[in-house]
Amino acid sequence: MTEQKTHALKARERGVTGKKVKTLRLKGIVPAVVYGRDAKPQNISLAANEFTKIYSEAGTSSLVDLTIDNAAPIKVLTHEPQLDPVKNVPIHIDFYKVRMDEKIKTEIPLEFIGASKAVEQLDGSLVTNRDSVEVECLPSDLVSEIKVDITPLKTFEDNITISDLKVPAGIEILNDSEEVVALVEPPRSEEELAELEESAAEEEKEAIEQMEGEAGVEGAEGERPEGEEKEAELEPKPEEQKEN
């Protein structure tokens, strides 16, 4: 297992809230909040580029020393940040303040290593059903990832389950111990590949036809014949009609 690396971030207390935080984002500053079980939520802000750099290394399973203004650093975990769907940059971050003497529940990423005979010699395809596991441990026992050696996958009958994972003392995996984490599927025959291609082509055709049909309906409902439009303009409004 990889030793936990020390990560540090600097932040400032934030008075700007609501829609006004847009002005912060335009300056490359991302709004965030720090909260904990026995801590009152605190609004903060920090440089987006500094956070992105640290998050790429720490992720959600490594402790971060967060310094707010001139206060002493506090230990926090980062929750999945909210990202701009177009620019893919953080627009809001949640930090969870941890107590080092209390166990926490979080997720640790899985890193698949090694070489599988079933993949390299039998032309199989590696299938990974999980990219992380849920754990419970003290914050000091956290690791940045759990390595999964796929070398035992020598045949298509072999698999790796949760119970096969090797974790350091102090970490308890909460997932079902019999859940399969990785296996190798045999290569597909030419007939299977042809069927998959045919099925994909048919689904694509149906999707296109459905989109064209919906576009036609919208056009018919949204347009009014030119004659009707002029006729409607000439009709007097109810209040303008004179009594006979």
Among the listed residues 88, 96, 75, 86, the one whose alpha carbon sits nearest the alpha carbon of residue 32:
96
Secondary structure of residue 214 in the 3-state scheme = helix
CATH number at residue 148: 2.170.120.20
Residue 149 located in a structural domain: yes
Residue 139 located in a structural domain: yes
DSSP element (H, E) containing 147? strand 146-149
Same domain flag for 90 and 149:
no
CA distance 13 to 19: 17
Q: Residue 180 above 70 pLDDT? A: yes
**pTM of this prediction?**
0.69
CA distance 67 to 12: 8
pLDDT band at 188 (very low <50, low <70, confident <90, very high): confident
The pLDDT tens digits of the residues spanning 19-71 come to 888 889 999 999 999 998 877 899 999 999 999 999 999 999 999 999 999 89
Radius of gyration of the chain (CA): 29
Output the CA torsion sign for 215, 216, 219, 220.
negative
| Per-residue pLDDT at 193 | 65
Q: Which of 164, 185, 206 is the last residue of a domain?
A: 185
The pLDDT tens digits of the residues spanning 194-240 come to 777 778 888 888 888 787 777 665 555 555 444 444 444 444 444 44
Residue 218 located in a structural domain: no
Residue 196 located in a structural domain: no
Q: Residue 130 above 80 pLDDT? A: yes
CA distance 87 to 20: 20
Domain residues for the domain of 20 are 7-97
Residue 91 located in a structural domain: yes
CA distance 93 to 68: 14
The pLDDT tens digits of the residues spanning 70-86 come to 899 999 999 889 998 88
pLDDT top residue among 166 and 214: 166
Output the CA torsion sign for 175, 82, 9, 34.
negative
Strand arrangement, sheet containing 146-149: 146-149, 104-113, 132-137, 172-173
What 16-22 contacts at long range (C-beta under 8 Å, 24+ apart), as own/partner pairs, is 16/45, 17/43
Q: Residue 241 above 80 pLDDT? A: no
Burial 71-98 (b: 16+ CB within 10 A, else e): eeebbbbbeebeeeeeeeebbebbbbbb
CATH number at residue 68: 2.40.240.10
The pLDDT tens digits of the residues spanning 90-99 come to 999 999 999 9
CA distance 133 to 175: 7
| Per-residue pLDDT at 88 | 87
Percent of the chain clearing pLDDT 90 (strictly above): 60
> What is the mean predicted confidence (pLDDT) over 137-154?
94
